Amino acid sequence: MLSRRRFVQGTALTAAAMAGPARGQAVKEVVIGALYPLSGPSAQIGVDAKTAFETAIEIINTAHADLDLPLAKEAGLPGLGGAKIRIIFADHQGDPQKGRAEAERLITQEKVAAMVGSYQSSVAATISQTAERYSVPFMSADNSSPSLHRRGLKYFFRAAAHDEMFSIIMFDFLDGLRKKGEKIDTLALFYEDTIFGTDSSNVQRKLAGERGYKLVSDIKYRANTPSLTAEVQQLKAGNADVLMPSSYTTDGILLVKTMGELGYKPKAMLCQAAGFSEQALYDAVGKQIENVITRGSFSIDLAAKRPLVGKINELFKARSNKDLNDNTAREFMALLVLAEAIDRAKSTDGGRIRDALAQTDIPGERTIMPWKRVKFDENGQNNDADPVLLQYKDQKFVTVYPEQAAVSPAVWPMFKA
């Protein structure tokens, strides 16, 4: 727990830093806090995120003349006299209360200039509140709940898409198939019981109503449960035309395994990423769901059009022995966007970094994402982060939607009967 004295100290220091003049003098390093689940059920995500950030730091802190990314060309931050970025990792274990405490510790004790996080949207909610209280910017790398940027926070920024944007493209895709004469009338929502799943299902329920799809199952399940038998039994009874899960990795694996055990083969699955972006899930159950489609912010086949993506993937792979995925790509990019703003702010002061972030305008070509550009609205959301739909074919992801980004058309009907 934070002692009162420390709290007062922290507040005083923050206040002093905010009141102080802009110090253009050389800062040796800029400390950024990264909050991730480094232990607990989602530890794998946190450990992979660590590698993504380390890759980003390598690009920022050393010169990479061949990469057209923000801050790649020079070593360190030129705006701060070549200062290096240092990142401090904190483990929130997927627990919103631990996230709050760790954010407080990073700000008051480690004196971080900004923070980045945090995978689970539920934890981002508490971290961003703490960040707001201390006027320290929080860059949400991979949280997708739309409610996060609708709380009037000044210090919250998200370069990637949220689940409303993701769900709209999913329904656009279904509408397109319908127009071509595919029979898609009924949907099944299957979502975990924290902010991520709940928000995702709220958007999907609304869109389904607006666009005339019938929900035959609407199942909120307990995250990280030992058994999903009864839940899958209900999905099977409903047998919707499209099953739409919003699940983290463990539940995603269990869902597919249980479907197999109960002899349920859905007609199609359209997934709200999270677990369905993770290689671990496909290693475990990929064969069963060949041709599954998930939404994404990133696709590795973008490398064919943009060699930059391939180069970054190589750097990342050298460290982790894994390809970049939806999560690690967003984490990598979030740190670059944040560092680029700190460089322009020419300061480690939270308020100035916040103002610089609000001015951010990075064209899509200077990212590794299929985005139009990075530019934040008054809520700190980047509305130009165009999402894509990815289909898992022959053991890799292929971009199938929207058409301008698609590498090949979607295989539909998805699963062979």
- Residue 36: what are its φ and ψ, rounded to 5°? -145, 160
Of the listed pieces 15-23, 37-45, 296-304, 329-337, which binds other proteins according to CB under 8 A? 37-45
CB of 215 to other proteins, least distance (A): 15
Of residues 11, 147, 186, 224, which one binds other proteins by CB under 8 A? Answer: 224
Size of the site for other proteins (CB under 8 A): 37
Gap between the Cα atoms of 337 and 356, Å rounded: 11
Compare residues 321 and 404 and give the one whose CB is closer to other proteins: 321
Q: Per DSSP, what are the bridge partners of residue 138?
A: 115, 156
Structure token digits, residue 19: 């009141």
Residues 121 and 144 sit within 8 Å (Cβ to Cβ): yes
CB of 265 to other proteins, least distance (A): 12
x/- map, 162-201, other proteins, by CB under 8 A: -------------------------------x--------
Does position 321 interact with other proteins (CB under 8 A)? The reply is no
Of residues 47, 184, 358, 407, which one binds other proteins by CB under 8 A? Answer: 47
Q: Among residues 138, 132, 85, 90, which one has the least CA distance to residue 115?
A: 138
Omega before 41 within 30 of 0, i.e. cis? no
Does position 284 interact with other proteins (CB under 8 A)? The reply is yes
CB of 201 to other proteins, least distance (A): 11
Compare residues 43 and 406 and give the one whose CB is closer to other proteins: 43
Compare residues 72 and 254 and give the one whose CB is closer to other proteins: 254
Does position 205 interact with other proteins (CB under 8 A)? The reply is no
Does position 54 interact with other proteins (CB under 8 A)? The reply is no
Does position 260 interact with other proteins (CB under 8 A)? The reply is yes
CB of 247 to other proteins, least distance (A): 13
Of residues 21, 181, 212, 226, which one binds other proteins by CB under 8 A? Answer: 226
Does position 87 interact with other proteins (CB under 8 A)? The reply is no
- Which positions touch other proteins (CB under 8 A)? 39-41, 43-44, 46-47, 193, 219-222, 224-227, 229-231, 233-234, 237, 249-250, 253-254, 257, 260-263, 280-281, 283-285, 288
